[in-house]
Amino acid sequence: MRRAALLAAALAATMPVAATAKAPAKPTLEQRVQRLEDEDAIRHIFIAYAAALDGKNADAYVALFAKNGQWINGSIVRKGPAEIHALIDGMFHNTPAGYVNKDSFELTFHPDIKVDGDRATSRSEHVLFRRHMDGSGLPQAVLFGRYEDEFIRENGVWKILKRVDIPTIPTPEEWGRIMRARQQQPAQPPAGGAQ
């Protein structure tokens, strides 16, 4: 009997604590709308990023990065607008004026965006398509990889703070060899001519 009384007293002592513990506060409607707007703005960065790559537009590409932004691919690290611009200029060398890309396009998909105030992270996958080498004109997937991103709200606008570009098929080493070989080739006019 004494044991049962002690157990009942112990349970009673914990009940007020449990009863007074508060559930975590739910976000307000304003906070939930802000999160949706932030996620939407970050999704638009993915769209603008692919458009800048597809259009070989180095200025539009660099404008997506924060003033202290970084682009990383394996051992290649570029920091700040000048270094990132030089990297992209190297990739887009000899692009003719009025260029319209009819040879390649990038798709970015499955972004998992997590917003925390003026910072955010995301992980997404991407695939690069080019015209098939056999001359059929059919699209051929030539690169699959993922992006691991950090974003920052800079002067009220979301920007890429750090983009880690991780090619998986082919490997970073294989992709580096492909890109170096491509840069050695003379520029060719886009299929169908510029419009």
Residue 86 belongs to domain with CATH number: 3.10.450.50
Q: What's the pLDDT tens digit per position in 35-49?
A: 999 999 999 999 999
| Residue 193 counted as domain residue | no
Q: For residue 16, is the peptide bond before it cis, meaning its omega torsion is within 30 degrees of 0?
A: no
| Residue 176 counted as domain residue | yes
For residue 28, pLDDT beyond 80: yes
Give the structural domain span for 164: 28-184
| Residue 1 counted as domain residue | no
| Residue 17 counted as domain residue | no
| Residue 12 counted as domain residue | no
Q: What's the pLDDT tens digit per position in 90-130?
A: 888 778 888 899 889 999 999 999 999 999 999 999 999 99
* Number of domains the chain is built from: 1
Instruction: Confirm whether pTM is higher than 0.85.
Output: no
The pairing of strands 104-116 and 76-79 is unpaired
Distances (CA, A) of 58 to 65, 95, 108, 188: 12, 11, 19, 19
